[in-house]
C-alpha cells in the first residue's frame, strides 16, 4: 500500500481507531495483522519471505541466548543468520546484476554463456526489513537487548507498517519494548503526528512528484539535453530525492506518533551540511548508523590506523551504494562519497593550515555558507550517478553538462523540460516554503512554534496546507501514483 | 477526554467539508459554450417544469445532432427533449432514462441503439466523464457509476475533485459562477 493513496487514507484512520478501542494487551496483535495486510497489498507471496526472515532472526535470538557462555556457538548463529538473510537479499536483488556483469565481462573476451535468469520482482522493502531484523541478531549477540520470546511481538517489530517499506530502520532496543507500552488518545500528540504526516504529504505530492517530471524528462533522455538543463535537473533531483525520502520518513514518524510510538529521525536538514562527513550524519541517519554499528566498527572503524580507516570507509560506502541498487551507478555513487571523505581527511591538515594562514574564522557566516554550497555541489555531482539510468548515461550527462550554450540561459529553456510555467511557479514557491521551514527548524521545533499561535492562525495554516496539497498535488487519474523512490531498494 | 477535544475536530472537519464542497463545485469541468453546452443541456432538465415533455430522445450524439425539438414543437405541438451525451453507452442510457423519469412523464422514449454494438467493456474516460459528471448525485448516479467504471477508478467519479483538481491551471471566470445551475437549454438538448 502506498502512503499517497486513497487506500491508505482509509486504512490508517481505521487502524488507529481500532487500536485505541481494543484492550491494551491485544493491541500488538491488531498492529501485526494491519502491518501484514499493509505489506500484502503489494504482493501476498512476499509476505512469506518477510515472515521467513522474521522467523530466522527470531530463532537466532533464542539460540544465541541458549548458547550461554560459548562465544564460538554464538558467533556461529550470528554467522548463519546473516548468511541466510543476506543470501535471500542477494538473490532477489543482486543475482541478475551479478550475472549480467559477469556475462558482459566474459562477452568482452568473446566467451558467451547463457546465464539462468532470476525472474522474480524485488520484494518491496526487503533491504529495509532485512537490515532491521539483522540488527536484532547483532544486538542480542552483543548483549545490548534481551531476547524477545514472543514471536508475534518480534514479527511486529520487523513488519511495523509505518516504517516497513522505506524506514527509518529501527533498532530492537528502541522499538521492541514500545509494543509493551500503554498508549492513550492524547489530543496534542495525535495532532502533532497528523501535522507531521501533513508535512510529509506536502513534500511528496506538491514538490517531489512535481519536480520529478522535469528530472525524468532530462535524465531519461540524456542525449537531448545540455548544459544548464542538466544542472537544473540535477539540483531538482537533489530536491526530489530529499523530499521523496524524508517525506516517507515523516509520514512514518507521524503515523507512529499518532498511535504513541516514537521512531527515530532519519533526516536533519542534510543539505545544510558543511562537509560530506556531516552530510552522512544528517542523511538517511538510520542507514548510516546501521552501517557504522554493524560494518564500520566490526571492521575496526578508525581504531586501526589511517590506512585501515580509509579502507573501511570505502568498504562501507561502496556497500551502501550497492544497498541502494543493483547497478554500477550506485557503486560509483557510493565510492564517490567514500573518496570525498578520504580526500577530506587527507587534506585536513593542509586545509587547517590554509585557514589559519588566511585568518579565516570558521564560524564566519560567509565561510559556513561557502562550505555548505561546496558540500552541496559535491553531493549533487554524486546524485548524477545515483539518478542516471546507467553508467553510460551518467558519462553522457556529465560530458554534456559542460557544454553550456549561454543563449539558452532563459526561462523558455526551463519550460521545455516537461513542466509548464504554472507548475514551475508552484514548484518554486513550494521549495521556498520548504527552505523557510527548514531554516526555522534549525533552532526550533516547527510544530511547537505552530502550537503557540492562536487558533485562527493555526487552523488557517492547516486548511491552507491541506488544500494546497489537494489542489496542487500530483495525484489522480492522469498521474501514476508515483511510488516513493526508495521503494526499489 | 475533554469536551473541546471532541468538538474542535468535529468543527474542523465540518469546515474542511464545506470548503471541499465549494472547491469541488469550482473545479468541476463545466461544458458551457454554446452549442456544445452539454452541462446546460443535461443539468437543464432539473430546472424545467415538471411533466412538461411528451417525448424523451436519448442514446447518443446522433440524437442531439439530428432531432430539433423546437422545430418538432413548432410543426406538431409535441414537446420533446433530447437527454443524452456523446457516445453514451447503453448501460448509461438506462440510468439517463431513470433520471429523466424522475422529473418528466413522457409518453414516448426514442432511443438511438447504436451503442448496443459497443464491444468494449468500458467506454472511454471522456465519454464517461461527460455522461456521469453532469447528473446530480443520487442513487441513480451511484448505480450508473458502478456499472460504467471499474472499481479501482470509481473514487474520482464520486469525488470529481480527485480528477479536476489539476484544473487549477485553467480555471476561468465561469468556473466561479453557479448561475448555470439554474439555466435551461433553449434548444432542449439540440446541438
Give the pLDDT score at B35.
82
User: What whole-number distance in Å separates Cα of residue A190 and Cα of residue A459?
Assistant: 15
Any CB–CB contact under 8 A between A470 and chain B? yes
Give the pLDDT score at A484.
60
Mean pLDDT in residue range B79-100: 92
Within chain B, strands assigned E span 55-58, 80-82, 108-111
Residues A457, A348 share a domain: yes
Residues A250, A315 share a domain: yes
Q: What's the gap between Cα A436 and its chain centre?
A: 22
Chain A environment of B162 (Cβ under 8 Å):
6, 475-477
The verdict on whether omega for the bond into residue B35 sits within 30 degrees of 0, i.e. cis, is: yes
Condensed to tens digits (0 to 9), the pLDDT of residues B130-153 reads: 999 999 999 999 999 999 999 988
pLDDT along chain A (489 residues), means of 10: 89 96 95 95 89 94 88 90 92 83 80 70 86 94 91 95 91 93 94 95 95 91 81 94 94 96 95 95 95 92 89 95 89 96 92 83 84 95 93 90 72 77 93 94 85 91 95 82 58
DSSP 8-state symbol, A296 = I
Among candidate residues A24, A183, A324, A367, the one labeled active-site is: A324
Residues A131, A250 share a domain: no
Does A1 reside within a domain? no
At B57, the pLDDT band (50, 70, 90 cuts) reads very high
Q: What's the gap between Cα A403 and its chain centre?
A: 33
Within A44-127, strands assigned E span none
Structural domain for A342, as ranges: 189-488
Chain A residues 415-454 with CB within 8 Å of chain B: 420, 422-423
Give the pLDDT score at B99.
93
Any CB–CB contact under 8 A between A477 and chain B? yes
Q: How far is B162 from chain A (nearest CA, A)?
A: 5
Does A442 reside within a domain? yes
Set of cell numbers at residue A456: 485562527
Per-residue burial over B124-160, b = 16 or more CB atoms within 10 Å of its CB, e = otherwise: eeebbbbbbbbbeeeebbeebbeebbeeebebbbeeb
Are residues A230 and A397 in contact, defined by beta-carbon separation less than 8 angstroms?
Answer: yes
Residues A197, A176 share a domain: no
Residues A168, A200 share a domain: no
Residues A331, A222 share a domain: yes
Chain A environment of B166 (Cβ under 8 Å):
476, 478-479
Domain end residue (candidates: A183, A214, A247): A183
Residues A48, A99 share a domain: yes
Per-residue burial over A335-348, b = 16 or more CB atoms within 10 Å of its CB, e = otherwise: bbbbebbbeeeeee
Q: How far is A187 from chain B (nearest CA, A)?
A: 7
Residues A236, A167 share a domain: no
Does A412 reside within a domain? yes
User: What whole-number distance in Å separates Cα of residue A172 and Cα of residue A291?
Assistant: 16
| pLDDT at residue B1 greater than cutoff 70 | no
Give the pLDDT score at A294.
93
Give the pLDDT score at A458.
93
**DSSP element (H, E) containing A383:** helix A365-387
Does A327 reside within a domain? yes
Are residues B168 and A476 in contact, defined by beta-carbon separation less than 8 angstroms?
Answer: no
Give the pLDDT score at B117.
85
Are residues A379 and A284 in contact, defined by beta-carbon separation less than 8 angstroms?
Answer: no
Residues A313, A172 share a domain: no
Residues A74, A17 share a domain: yes
Residues A455, A329 share a domain: yes
Residues A155, A70 share a domain: yes
Residue B80 pairs in a beta bridge with B55
Cell 562477452, located at residue: A107
Whether A324 is catalytic is yes
User: What whole-number distance in Å separates Cα of residue A150 and Cα of residue A81?
Assistant: 19
Which of A422, A466, A467 lies at the smallest CB-CB distance from B169? A422
Cα dihedral B66→B72→B73→B75 (10° resolution):
150
State the count of interchain CB pairs (< 8 A) between A and B: 44
CB contact under 8 A, A462 and B12: yes
Q: What is the mean pLDDT of chain B?
A: 91
Residue to mutate among A13, A186, A476, with most B CBs inside 10 A, is A476
Nearest alpha-carbon partner for B180 in B31, B23, B3, B65: B31
Total tally of structural domains belonging to chain A: 2
Residue B81 pairs in a beta bridge with B56
Domain end residue (candidates: A140, A165, A183): A183
CB contact under 8 A, A185 and B165: no
Amino acid at each position: 500500500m502506498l502512503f499517497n493513496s486513497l487506500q491508505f487514507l482509509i486504512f490508517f484512520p481505521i487502524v488507529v481507531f481500532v487500536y485505541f478501542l481494543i484492550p491494551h494487551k491485544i493491541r500488538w496483535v491488531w498492529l501485526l495483522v494491519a502491518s501484514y495486510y499493509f505489506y500484502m497489498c503489494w504482493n501476498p507471496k512476499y509476505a512469506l519471505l518477510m515472515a521467513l526472515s522474521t522467523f530466522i532472526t527470531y530463532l537466532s535470538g533464542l539460540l544465541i541466548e541458549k548458547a550461554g557462555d560459548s562465544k564460538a556457538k554464538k558467533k556461529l548463529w550470528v554467522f548463519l543468520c546473516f548468511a541466510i538473510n543476506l543470501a535471500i537479499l542477494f538473490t532477489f536483488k543482486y543475482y541478475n546484476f551479478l550475472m549480467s556483469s559477469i556475462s558482459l565481462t566474459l562477452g568482452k573476451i568473446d566467451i558467451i554463456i547463457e546465464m539462468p535468469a532470476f525472474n522474480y520482482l524485488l520484494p518491496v522493502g526487503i533491504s529495509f526489513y532485512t537490515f532491521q531484523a539483522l540488527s536484532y541478531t547483532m544486538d542480542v549477540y552483543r548483549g545490548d537487548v534481551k531476547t524477545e520470546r514472543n514471536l508475534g511481538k518480534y514479527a511486529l517489530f520487523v513488519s511495523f507498517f509505518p516504517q516497513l517499506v522505506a524506514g527509518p530502520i529501527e533498532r530492537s532496543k528502541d522499538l521492541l519494548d514500545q509494543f509493551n507500552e500503554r498508549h492513550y488518545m492524547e489530543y496534542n500528540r495525535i495532532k502533532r503526528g497528523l501535522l507531521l504526516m501533513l508535512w510529509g504529504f506536502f513534500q511528496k505530492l506538491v514538490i517531489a512528484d512535481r519536480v520529478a517530471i522535469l528530472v525524468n524528462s532530462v535524465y531519461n533522455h540524456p542525449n537531448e539535453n545540455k548544459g544548464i538543463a542538466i544542472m537544473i535537473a540535477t539540483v531538482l533531483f537533489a530536491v526530489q530525492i530529499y523530499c521523496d525520502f524524508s517525506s516517507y520518513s515523516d509520514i512514518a514518524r507521524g503515523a507512529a506518533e499518532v498511535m504513541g510510538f516514537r521512531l527515530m529521525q532519519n533526516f536533519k536538514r542534510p543539505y545544510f551540511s558543511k562537509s560530506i562527513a556531516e552530510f552522512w550524519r544528517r542523511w538517511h541517519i538510520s542507514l548510516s548508523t546501521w552501517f557504522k554499528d554493524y560494518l564500520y566498527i566490526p571492521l575496526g572503524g578508525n581504531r586501526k590506523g589511517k590506512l585501515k580507516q580509509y579502507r573501511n570507509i570505502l568498504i562501507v560506502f561502496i556497500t551502501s551504494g550497492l544497498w541502494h541498487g543493483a547497478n554500477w551507478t550506485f557503486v560509483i555513487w557510493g565510492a564517490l562519497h567514500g573518496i570525498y571523505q578520504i580526500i577530506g581527511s587527507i587534506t585536513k591538515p593542509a586545509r587547517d593550515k590554509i585557514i589559519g594562514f588566511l585568518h579565516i574564522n570558521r564560524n564566519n557566516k560567509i565561510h559556513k555558507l561557502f562550505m555548505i554550497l561546496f558540500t552541496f555541489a559535491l553531493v549533487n555531482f554524486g546524485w548524477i550517478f545515483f539518478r542516471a539510468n546507467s553508467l553510460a548515461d551518467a558519462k553522457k550527462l556529465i560530458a554534456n553538462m559542460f557544454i553550456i550554450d549561454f543563449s539558452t540561459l532563459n526561462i523558455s529553456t526551463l519550460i521545455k523540460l516537461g513542466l509548464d510555467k504554472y507548475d514551475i511557479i508552484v514548484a518554486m514557491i513550494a521549495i521556498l516554503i520548504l527552505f523557510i521551514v527548514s531554516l526555522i527548524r534549525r533552532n526550533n521545533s516547527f510544530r511547537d512554534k505552530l502550537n503557540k499561535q492562536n487558533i485562527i492562525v493555526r487552523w488557517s495554516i492547516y486548511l491552507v496546507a491541506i488544500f494546497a496539497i489537494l489542489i496542487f498535488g500530483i495525484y489522480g487519474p492522469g498521474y501514476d501514483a508515483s511510488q516513493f523512490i526508495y521503494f526499489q531498494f | 477526554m475533554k469536551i473541546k477535544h471532541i468538538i474542535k475536530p468535529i468543527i474542523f472537519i465540518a469546515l474542511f467539508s464545506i470548503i471541499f464542497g465549494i472547491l469541488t463545485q469550482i473545479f468541476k469541468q463545466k461544458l458551457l459554450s454554446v452549442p456544445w453546452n452539454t452541462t446546460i443541456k443535461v443539468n437543464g432538465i432539473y430546472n424545467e417544469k415538471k411533466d412538461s415533455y411528451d417525448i424523451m430522445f436519448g442514446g447518443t450524439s446522433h440524437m442531439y445532432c439530428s432531432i430539433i425539438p423546437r422545430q418538432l414543437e413548432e410543426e406538431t405541438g409535441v414537446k420533446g427533449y433530447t437527454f443524452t451525451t456523446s457516445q453514451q453507452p447503453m448501460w448509461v442510457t438506462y440510468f439517463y432514462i431513470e433520471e429523466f423519469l424522475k422529473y418528466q412523464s413522457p409518453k414516448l422514449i426514442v432511443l438511438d441503439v447504436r451503442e448496443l454494438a459497443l464491444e468494449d467493456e468500458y467506454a472511454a474516460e471522456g465519454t464517461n466523464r461527460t455522461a456521469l459528471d453532469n447528473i446530480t448525485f443520487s442513487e441513480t448516479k451511484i448505480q450508473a457509476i458502478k456499472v460504467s467504471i471499474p472499481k479501482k477508478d470509481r473514487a474520482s467519479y464520486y469525488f470529481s475533485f480527485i480528477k479536476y483538481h489539476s484544473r487549477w491551471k485553467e480555471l476561468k471566470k465561469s468556473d466561479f459562477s453557479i448561475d448555470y445551475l439554474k439555466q435551461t437549454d433553449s434548444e432542449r438538448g439540440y446541438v
